[in-house]
Chain A
Amino acid sequence: MSKAFTLSAARPGVITANDLRQGHNVWMCDDGWTPDPRKATIYEDEAIAELALLKAIGQANLVVGPYLVEARRGPNGPEPTHFRETFRQRGPSNYFHGIQADQANDTPETAHV
């Protein structure tokens, strides 16, 4: 799990979880949850992020284990700051499976929920 960090404009974060029915990784976005980490909502204000996390926890019919994790702003959206999140956003290194394959095919097998 993510190490505790204090959210701020300098150290923004995203909320991530697993899809309840299928298990794949999802990120909280403006209109729900997305399997594309680049579309995640970036939080810079701790109070707003806490509220969003409470909302995520309240969506236990959709997702499992939501948590807030540090991210940085990149040209295509939020990017991970720790290698664990890098792997979660990419997939395993031994096969071209998971999100990396979905993004390459541009046909995510995992539906937007």
Chain B
Amino acid sequence: MFDIRPVETDYVRHRAAQFRAQVERRLDGSLTEDEFKPLRLMNGVYLQLHAYMLRVAIPYGTISPDQMRTLAHLAQTYDKGYGHWTTRQNIQFNWPKLVDIPDMLDALADVGMHAIQTSGNTIRNVTTDAFAGAAFDEVADPRPYAELLRSWSTDHAEFQFLPRKFKIAISGGKKDRAVIAAHDIGLRMTEQGGKTGFEVWIGGGLGRTPLLGKVVRDFLPEEDLLPYVEAIIATYNLSGRRDNKYKARIKITVAERGLDVMRAEIEEEFLARRREFHGADREALRIFKDRFRAPSFRNAPVDGFEVERQANPAFRSWTDTNLHQHRVDGYASVIVTFKAPGQTPGDASAAQMRLLADLAERYGHADLRVMHDQNVALPHVHKSDLPALYAELKEAGLATANAGLTSDIIACPGMDYCALATARSIPIAEEIADHFRAVGLEEEIGNLNIRISGCINACGHHHLGHIGILGLDRAGVENYQITLGGDAYDIPAIGERAGAGFPAEEVVPAIDRLLCAYLDVRQDASERFIDAYRRLGPAPFKAALYPVAADA
């Protein structure tokens, strides 16, 4: 059953008040840590390597300027002045005090935000294409459906104790920018016979057993979304393993039981569940579609944009890399990368957050998106505003022209912050970025996805990097394994381990040898690293990584 909550902020405030009382009971000894831990996790509060961490949900990465300013306020007041964009379009604060977190949740509730279901074995934040509603190639804006799923899954009584956490991603069209193949459920918007619907994938996931999802339904009419997703999760809820947390994700359920068995059970469950939906979901979707209606786009000349491109090479370079084609003439989507020289991938200061909020209001129809690759997009910017926007971003150190290039690295917090990590990620990312900037090869190398994780849980999506790096603890020393050939987007692929790992100081030289070999063997500048890898296979790249072994 599904019923839309009339006043959602009331619920969020109620939950914040509940958590305040839970913290009080923990501090006065009424609750033990064992009793309190699941309660704090339900509210996104982890205990990490140096401090507590609060993970705040940014549903499908969409955030308003006022909400962004609240994040800035939290960073400045309760943290050390910054926050960290995650690979699931959320934000993490690394230094909150437990006694302050109730106040943080109250501040979030004021702008309709919360940390509910950002942890625990529940349905997590629904993610989607950062260019939703703006991309030139989407079938439809996926956000109303993402909001439908978010609203339905929040506090869903049946799905609060799943075998393991559960992640859903929606792509707005054929071109996948939401990494649907690596999610428990991946939805790709599509059309069939004039009807809008979804291609439904299940069983994808990374971690210690990386598996790509499989298509369980070629076409699901959009009106059946909730009953079908509910059927998938209900089926998994009963048949997913609870005896071993490492085998509890739906990817293992699908792998062990078989896609056909799962599909048959899901379809049977779907028929039963569909009868229980009486139109409230349709009514909610209508409201959400209205909420996500397009802004009033301007029809204005773009001459200034072209003039500035000719006059300013730095601006031209930035527009070459950091814009994405908009569906409306005269508009572009802007990628603001948080991967400037010396910057921790995905870290944003309070001042940067406030600036983004201001710029979104001034130039971007008051819309901001946190991207899964730890950048932020302004989805709707008129091209005539780009020179002014660029100038303000540049002033704040946010105009690095590197979207999709070598230094646009996804990196998890690693052992600089995370209690689960086995090695650091951030210094490796910074060293690789610094090196390729210093040798001036970044532009020549072109599109390249480097992904770094500090443990096998793979928050840095290393399996999906064209070059993936996995940090491990080898006999008390940080050691890094390299995987090759992964791809999150065009042809989803899990990277393959190239060979023995490298000590930290040998990672940059190894990646340098690898990319020099690529530049030697590629057919021309249009052949990306991943294309050359697919054409030639791993041999020439392994030989570059392990020259001694190859010579022997």
Contacts and interface: CB of A to CB of B under 8 A. Distances in A.
B129 interface: no
B221 to A, nearest CB: 48
A77 interface: no
B286 interface: no
A88 to B, nearest CB: 6
Given A18-B47, A88-B50, A23 B97 contact: yes
Interface string A44-78: 00000000000000001100110000000000000
A74 to B, nearest CB: 17
Contacts of B430: 94
Interface string B18-29: 000000001101
A24 B47 CA distance: 10
A20 interface: yes
A25 B47 contact: no
B97 A65 contact: no
A65 B40 CA distance: 15
A60 B50 contact: no
A21 B98 contact: yes
Interface residues of B, number: 29
Interface string B413-437: 0011100000010110010000000
Interface residues of A, number: 25
A88 B416 CA distance: 9
A20 B426 CA distance: 27
B476 interface: yes
Contact of B51 (A24, A60, A82): A24
Contacts of A24: 50-51
14 contacts: A21-B98, A21-B99, A23-B96, A61-B27, A64-B47, A83-B415, A83-B476, A88-B50, A93-B424, A94-B347, A94-B416, A97-B80, A98-B51, A99-B50
For the complex of A and B, list the 9 residue pairs with the smallest distance between their C-beta atoms, beginning with the closest: A92-B416, A23-B52, A23-B51, A22-B97, A94-B344, A94-B426, A98-B50, A21-B99, A61-B29
Interface of A: 18, 20-25, 60-61, 64-65, 81-84, 87-88, 91-95, 97-99
Given A24-B51, A87-B415, 12 more contacts: A20-B26, A23-B96, A23-B97, A60-B33, A83-B473, A83-B476, A88-B50, A91-B50, A93-B426, A94-B416, A94-B427, A97-B95
